[in-house]
Amino acid sequence: MAQQKSIYVCQSCGYRSPRWLGRCTDCGAWNTLVEERLAPARSRKGHHASPDGCTPVPLANVDVAATPRQRTAIAEFDRVLGGGLVPGSVVLIGGDPGIGKSTLVLQAVAALGNEERPALYVSGEESPEQIKMRAERLGLADKAVWLLAATEVETILERLRSIRPAVLAIDSIQTMWVGELESAPGNVSQVRECAARFVRWAKETYVPTLIVGHVTKEGAFAGPRVLEHMVDTVLYFEGDRSHAFRILRSVKNRFGSTNEIGVFEMTERGLEPVGNPSAHFLAERPRGAAGSVVAACIEGTRPVLIEVQALVSPSVLANPRRTSLGFDPNRTSMLIAVLEKKLGIQLFGQDVFLNAAGGMRISEPAADLAVAAALGSSFLERPLDPELVVFGEVGLAGEVRGIQHALLRVQEAARLGLRRCLMPQTNLRQIDGVPEIERVGVASLNEAWEVLFGR
Ligand code: TYD
Ligand code: MG
């Protein structure tokens, strides 16, 4: 008999060590190693079951047309997947608790089930009654969806043999467990082993499988990250819970491009795709208000116009406030410093608040120039042209640098009826055939100020 061995597993990154350590040598986290007993090694037979054993195939003979995609009920979801679900593919959907993962997955699988082969929704978190209530709210109560409230993986796989579902949803992987491992559900080893078994099952049966994983807060463990390498596609569902907008972002996709996004709105009746995000983000824009400017950003491969709002007002504090919602605070500090040093704008006695309207998060440096323009507009109490759109990166020397996809941004701005574009000089020659929008190229913040405020 093989002897039971112990191993210490970092709950944050999954690093395995034969002995206990106070600090993980891989990710540097403290007190994250947890002892786990290993079951005696099982036979690895059947791990990669290919129908005809193990025979190499000439590349030229591989038939790609044989993998059609199944479209779900949600166009934005299909778009992020690269055109629909591929048979046998495993999709991990990560996100904060309460963001709408269960809703998205239920809506997505509902269209794929039929009389013969239903969609199977396995929940370890909610009872069938709760799920039914959600389905009623979503108008999906009559769809061919079967529910299974279970958490033990072998039992679930056993049931799957008789049900033969058209699509499988596991909600969530942190509630699943296998008996051979002694650690508790939600532990890295459990999460990994459970996911591995579902992946193996999906590859053997060609049933597309959606796995929900909670992104755990700092200090908690075993988030979807430790599974990213095992699955075909990783999608993160993001958004600010106080806003209705949700962004589904693909960070890995073996069957499509990454960095694609889908935009949704959480409504009374579930998630509604937002086909025209720019129009939504600009819908409530105040016209002629100081501190507001439209930035042209790129999310994935898609241009999105977002309103940047700044409020600069005299501070009574010794350390004035610097608050950025939706922007990287470090980048904001840098821009403030450049404005002070290069343009002599004295912001040190001022509270500065910055906000990306609609709860969007902007990480692109291409939004720099828009942020600077919004700050200047609020500081000077000078409203900007409401038909203006701004993009460009700002460097430490106050230079305005070229950015990628300038044409896409200008086209999107023109499509939404904006008439003027302040942009990097170096990007000007890439713009071709958008006559309805006037382009003004600048090479420095100084030049930009001249255009914006006529200084
Ligand atoms: P849920 O899908 O349960 O989130 P997760 O699985 O990521 O934890 O949904 C979260 C929130 O969405 C919940 O607070 C209620 C809200 N919601 C709506 O606003 N409309 C709806 O139609 C549904 C089903 C949920
Ligand atoms: Mg849920």
Q: Is 103 in the pocket of ligand 1 (CB under 6 A)?
A: yes
Same domain (yes/no): 326, 239: no
Q: Which atom of ligand 1 is nearest to the CA of 98?
A: 8
Given this model, what pLDDT does residue 62 score? Answer: 76
Same domain (yes/no): 204, 345: no
How far, in Å, CA of 186 to CA of 227, rounded?
A: 12
Given this model, what pLDDT does residue 46 score? Answer: 47
Its domain, for residue 368, covers 280-453
Q: Which atom of ligand 1 is nearest to the CA of 105?
A: 2
Same domain (yes/no): 292, 389: yes
Q: Which atom of ligand 1 is nearest to the CA of 134?
A: 24
Ligand nearest to the CA of 172: 2
Same domain (yes/no): 206, 125: yes
**Does residue 53 lie in a domain region?**
no
Same domain (yes/no): 327, 410: yes
Axis-axis angle for helices 368-380, 329-343 (nearest 10): 60
CA distances (Å), 47 to each of 2, 156, 203, 232, in order? 21, 18, 10, 17
| CB-based neighbours (< 5 A) of ligand 2, an ion | 102
CB 90 within 8 A of CB 202: yes
Cα of 271 vs centre of ligand 1, distance in Å, is: 9
**Does residue 296 lie in a domain region?**
yes
What is the number of structural domains in the chain? 3
Q: Is 235 in the pocket of ligand 1 (CB under 6 A)?
A: no
Q: What is the DSSP string of 214-272?
A: EPPPBTB---GGGGTTTSSEEEEEE--TTSSEEEEEEEEETTS-SS-EEEEEEETTEEE
Same domain (yes/no): 248, 102: yes
Q: Which residues contact 133 (CB under 8 A, 6 or more apart)?
A: none
Given this model, what pLDDT does residue 3 score? Answer: 60
Same domain (yes/no): 237, 383: no
Q: By CB neighbour count within 10 A (0-12 exposed, 13-18 middle, 19+ buried), where does 10 fall?
A: buried
Strand partners, 264: 246, 273
With the C-alpha atoms ordered 193, 196, 202, 204, is the resulting torsion angle positive or negative?
negative
Q: What is the pTM of this model?
A: 0.79
Same domain (yes/no): 320, 424: yes
DSSP 152: B
Q: Which atom of ligand 1 is nearest to the CA of 95?
A: 7
Given this model, what pLDDT does residue 329 score? Answer: 95
Same domain (yes/no): 409, 285: yes
Cα of 97 vs centre of ligand 2, distance in Å, is: 7
CA distances (Å), 439 to each of 80, 200, 287, 400, in order? 32, 54, 21, 15
Q: Is 97 in the pocket of ligand 1 (CB under 6 A)?
A: yes
Given this model, what pLDDT does residue 124 score? Answer: 94
Same domain (yes/no): 264, 286: no
Cα of 166 vs centre of ligand 2, distance in Å, is: 21
Q: Is 424 in the pocket of ligand 1 (CB under 6 A)?
A: no
How far, in Å, CA of 135 to CA of 391, rounded?
A: 43
Same domain (yes/no): 302, 426: yes
Most ligand 1 atoms within 8 A of CB, residue of 138, 235, 266, 271 to mutate: 266
Residue 207, amino acid: V
CB 89 within 8 A of CB 255: yes
Residue 187 sits in a domain whose CATH number is 3.40.50.300
**Does residue 446 lie in a domain region?**
yes
**Does residue 311 lie in a domain region?**
yes
| Under-50 pLDDT residues of the chain | 1, 45-47, 49, 219-221
Given this model, what pLDDT does residue 455 score? Answer: 63
CB 171 within 8 A of CB 121: yes
Q: Which atom of ligand 1 is nearest to the CA of 172?
A: 6
How far, in Å, CA of 6 to CA of 144, rounded?
A: 44
Most ligand 1 atoms within 8 A of CB, residue of 103, 107, 137, 243 to mutate: 103
Single residue among 239, 254, 275 that ends a domain in this structure: 275
**Does residue 45 lie in a domain region?**
no
